[in-house]
Structure 1
Amino acid sequence: MSEQTTSRQSGPTDEWLAAECRRLLGFGRRVTHPAGGAAWLDDDGAPDLSRPVHTWITSRTVHVYGLGSLLGVEGSSSIATAALHGLATTLRDADHGGWFGAVDADRAPSGGTGKSCYDHAFVMLAGSTAVVAALPGAEDLLAEATHVFEEHFWDEALGRVVDGWDRDWEHADPYRGLNATMHSVEAMLAVGDVTGEVVWHDRAARLAGLVVDLAGAHDGRLPEHFGPDWSVDLELNRDRPDDPFKPFGATVGHGLEWSRLLLHLEASLGEAAPPGLLDTSRLLFDRAVADGWHVDGAPGFVYTTDWDGMPVVRQRMHWVAAEGISAAAALHRRTDESRYAERYAEWWAYAAEHLVDTDRGSWHHELDPDNRPQASVWPGKPDLYHAVQATLLPRLPLAPSLASGLALAGASFERL
């Protein structure tokens, strides 16, 4: 990123962000899997057909290329439509309803037959974006996804989500998690914006109340893992601290992601927003920065810390920087405080220097503590979602959610 495209105070220009968004979408143009759905991409953007087709990757592909379609990026609509078709066919459990976590090349369930809230939240997000982008089959997908979510994953009595079920919905997993909760909030905001059903925003607010309480009780370090009664488990996976979905300790990137989502929720609800969202957003942001940013002799965010704020997994994950960028942009938009603009510019400069791969495309998904490419947790480059959103969120209001915001902006938003 040159001096012509950024400054420490202001960050990259809208023109640079638009070009980076287009470059990222170009990287994933081969994502369609021959079995249906979206493939895991390698470092060069080629489908890694040795890996299964994942529902979360396929859903994110619908979302990202649905956004690309709204932006007028050539080829985006057909990629999003193909991924959506994979959700409607290859990944869907036609016998019991809902979606498998993954299927193999023969379209048989891979890695178990259980149903996860994390996956189903992303199917709802995909359906919401697809409806806004007017993709064929979008209305049916969203209707089914919301029905399954309401029936199986939403616990109305507690105002919480159930993390997982077996294939036939007979037995719920005893584990409860904040990661699925977080992406449920994201999906609920999108569903509410698309359908006009305020109950989805109300549910998101109930989930956010848990985070407000947890952040206050744990000095801004969010517990991620819980028992079936939502009792906190601070020791889960201490022996496997770099688990890609259930790591031990506090996950710095999730503190940043929650910081942003609370502001989206506040903006969506307006005067009906519960108290404490901005204060908690600040707390989460400040704790993530203090514990995670440039704390071990090199720039970058560490992945996780223990409950005293000491680094545990020191690899730098691309998605954490992307969420830091987006959270800083959201807080600056909400408060107009220069310290957030300064962080925004600083982290974009870091991403441009260390994460953006101008030779092979996309962003390096993982760096070692010295900011060299590594693949111990995230081999290849399977995920465009965080990076693409980091190019779009800073240019849009805090509400409505991304797809609805792009549609509302219309011709006033720079077309790519």
Structure 2
Amino acid sequence: MSTPWTDLPTHRAWLQAHGESLLAFGRRVAVPGGGAAWLDDEGAPVVERGVQTWITCRTVHVYALGHLLGVPGSRPVAQGALAALLPGGVLHDAEHGGWFGTVRRAGAGGGVEVVSDAKEAYQHAFVLLAASSGVVAGLDGARELLDEAARVYLDRFWDEDAGLSVDTWDRAFTACDPYRGINANMHSVEAMLAVADVTGDPAWLDRAARIGGFVVRQAAAQGWRIPEHYSDEWVPEPDLNRDCPDDPFKPFGATVGHGLEWARLLLHLEAALVAAHEADPGLPQAGGPVDGAAEGSTWAEAAAALFERAVADGWAADGADGFVYTTDWAGEPVVRDRMHWVVAEATNAAAALHTRTGEPRYADRYAQWWDYADRYVLDHEHGSWHHELDPTNTPAGTVWPGKADLYHAFQATLVPRLPLAPSMATAVASGLFVTP
């Protein structure tokens, strides 16, 4: 029996080298005056897309990790992107608080045009993540940013009664859209785990567990396909965007990649809860069933079920290798394009499940999907990953033109080398790399 790739020092060295190549690809991402650009196929900024909060935050996070890894040139990129989020930065709303979705430089005079002034939980969750990683990396202004981001998130987005995040406000935080969504809550869990590690406040873990429990219960009732869209009363809306099935943020049906991403996040959550209980036995234990879950599923059992459903529905579902983007509620493919982030999350989920269980089948899948990524998704000519492939595994740009950012690809180089807890920046800063 061969050694699993995740246990091979040579594979870990390959992951490190690939991560460094991704950082090199994105070296032009920082925008003069603050923020980060959407990148094209060759890593050049796409000016007409403006400066977007989620891209900027992901850039701070990735290059903060690069700095913690000791990769020269990473800190200036992270600091330059972070500048847009700080008071006086182009993305920060000094009047009403929070952060704009998108801004754009207006002409030669250098004025700033607000393109999207909606305040979205998705974007604000990434502000929390960026600030947390920035604090660990010692970026100037990151601690103050984290304090403000936490206040805004808790005041405006967190619904304590529901144990979930609302989705979108208008600029002045006077009108809340009735739509509720799992995507923003998923990234909220990721951010909450990071904030808990940086602040030491276990309330963030409790919030993450409440979100995770809701998703487990909803998915279990739907054959482990996750309903993504809800009313303001948290009633599922399974037909939303049926007429716009390839929406990049709110697609119709079950999103295969989110099943994989949630599988990993539940394992991170479980590990964080276990560690917190060990540090303070007064906190709840994490080894038992998820509160209210069908058949008493534990976090690990739910993660495995989500993984198996996503793989059964999504991998080579139409006869060609690769994960389809979405399926209907019977598991039939709807959007058959292959998105780069899905295979990144597939390798991450397989690695996390192998770490948690030691089962060889997860290691086998991990190697299979990296082989697929190397053959089709990695751009060996220009660098980074093709963000979208058509059903024949040919590069496309219908949903994701260019190579927007490095977040999913770069994290795929770290997840197999780190423990399930603490969160990524804290683990890297602490030197908690897993060795065979």
TM-score (norm 1): 0.96
Report the Cα offset of residue 36 of structure 1: 2.2
1:108 alignment partner in structure 2: 113
Give a deviation string over 1:210-229, Cα, whole Å, max 9, x none. Answer: 01101110001000000000
The count of residues paired between Structure 1 and Structure 2 equals 408
2:313 alignment partner in structure 1: 291
- The answer to whether the Cα contact below 8 Å between 1:364 and 1:373 also exists between their aligned partners in 2 is yes
Give a deviation string over 1:272-306, Cα, whole Å, max 9, x none. Answer: 22622111101100000000001111100000000
Q: For 2:232, which of 228, 231, 245 is the aligned residue?
A: 228
Q: 3-state SS of the aligned residue for 1:13?
A: helix
Q: 3-state SS of the aligned residue for 1:409?
A: coil
1:155 alignment partner in structure 2: 159
2:50 alignment partner in structure 1: 52
Segment drifting more, 271-280 vs 385-394: 271-280
One-letter amino acid matched to 1:252: V
1:140 alignment partner in structure 2: 144
**Closer/same/farther in 2, CA of residues 10 and 348 from structure 1, 3 Å limit:** farther
1:377 alignment partner in structure 2: 399
Asked if 1:280 corresponds to 2:292, the answer is no
Q: For 2:258, which of 254, 276, 290 is the aligned residue?
A: 254
Q: For 1:352, which of 374, 382, 387 is the aligned residue?
A: 374
One-letter amino acid matched to 1:93: D
Report the Cα offset of residue 7 of structure 1: 6.3
- The answer to whether the Cα contact below 8 Å between 1:366 and 1:378 also exists between their aligned partners in 2 is yes
Q: For 1:310, which of 324, 332, 350 is the aligned residue?
A: 332
One-letter amino acid matched to 1:95: E
- The answer to whether the Cα contact below 8 Å between 2:5 and 2:367 also exists between their aligned partners in 1 is yes
Q: For 2:341, which of 305, 319, 326 is the aligned residue?
A: 319
* Rounded Cα–Cα distance in structure 2 between residues aligned with 1:375 and 1:396: 32
Report the Cα offset of residue 108 of structure 1: 1.9
2:99 alignment partner in structure 1: 99
* Rounded Cα–Cα distance in structure 2 between residues aligned with 1:7 and 1:139: 37
* Rounded Cα–Cα distance in structure 2 between residues aligned with 1:129 and 1:7: 28
1:75 alignment partner in structure 2: 73
Report the Cα offset of residue 114 of structure 1: 1.2
1:172 alignment partner in structure 2: 176
Asked if 1:203 corresponds to 2:197, the answer is no
Report the Cα offset of residue 34 of structure 1: 2.6
| Higher RCO (C-alpha 8 Å, min separation 6) | 1
One-letter amino acid matched to 1:187: A
Q: For 1:340, which of 355, 362, 370 is the aligned residue?
A: 362
1:331 alignment partner in structure 2: 353
* Rounded Cα–Cα distance in structure 1 between residues aligned with 2:417 and 2:6: 17
Unaligned stretches of 5+ residues in structure 1: none
How well do the aligned residues superpose, as a CA RMSD in angstroms?
1.7
* Rounded Cα–Cα distance in structure 2 between residues aligned with 1:12 and 1:230: 47
- The answer to whether the Cα contact below 8 Å between 2:6 and 2:416 also exists between their aligned partners in 1 is no
* Rounded Cα–Cα distance in structure 2 between residues aligned with 1:355 and 1:9: 24
2:37 alignment partner in structure 1: 39
One-letter amino acid matched to 1:268: A
1:217 alignment partner in structure 2: 221
**Closer/same/farther in 2, CA of residues 195 and 9 from structure 1, 3 Å limit:** closer
Give a deviation string over 1:12-41, Cα, whole Å, max 9, x none. Answer: 701100110000000000001134200010
**Closer/same/farther in 2, CA of residues 7 and 167 from structure 1, 3 Å limit:** closer
* Rounded Cα–Cα distance in structure 1 between residues aligned with 2:386 and 2:9: 20
1:397 alignment partner in structure 2: 419
1:22 alignment partner in structure 2: 20
Asked if 1:388 corresponds to 2:386, the answer is no
**Closer/same/farther in 2, CA of residues 82 and 130 from structure 1, 3 Å limit:** same
Report the Cα offset of residue 380 of structure 1: 0.4
**Closer/same/farther in 2, CA of residues 83 and 413 from structure 1, 3 Å limit:** farther
One-letter amino acid matched to 2:80: A
Identity of aligned residues (%): 60
Report the Cα offset of residue 179 of structure 1: 0.1
Q: 3-state SS of the aligned residue for 1:344?
A: helix
Q: 3-state SS of the aligned residue for 2:210?
A: helix
**Closer/same/farther in 2, CA of residues 400 and 74 from structure 1, 3 Å limit:** same
* Rounded Cα–Cα distance in structure 2 between residues aligned with 1:343 and 1:413: 20
Give a deviation string over 1:343-376, Cα, whole Å, max 9, x none. Answer: 0000011111111111111000000001000000
One-letter amino acid matched to 1:34: P
- The answer to whether the Cα contact below 8 Å between 2:6 and 2:351 also exists between their aligned partners in 1 is no
Q: 3-state SS of the aligned residue for 2:187?
A: helix
**Closer/same/farther in 2, CA of residues 309 and 370 from structure 1, 3 Å limit:** same
Q: 3-state SS of the aligned residue for 1:139?
A: helix
* Rounded Cα–Cα distance in structure 2 between residues aligned with 1:363 and 1:333: 25
TM-score (norm 2): 0.91
Q: Which runs of 4+ in 1 moved over 4 A?
A: 5-12
Report the Cα offset of residue 235 of structure 1: 0.3
Unaligned stretches of 5+ residues in structure 2: 107-111, 278-284, 290-297
* Rounded Cα–Cα distance in structure 1 between residues aligned with 2:305 and 2:389: 27
- The answer to whether the Cα contact below 8 Å between 2:118 and 2:169 also exists between their aligned partners in 1 is yes
Q: For 1:117, which of 121, 127, 136 is the aligned residue?
A: 121
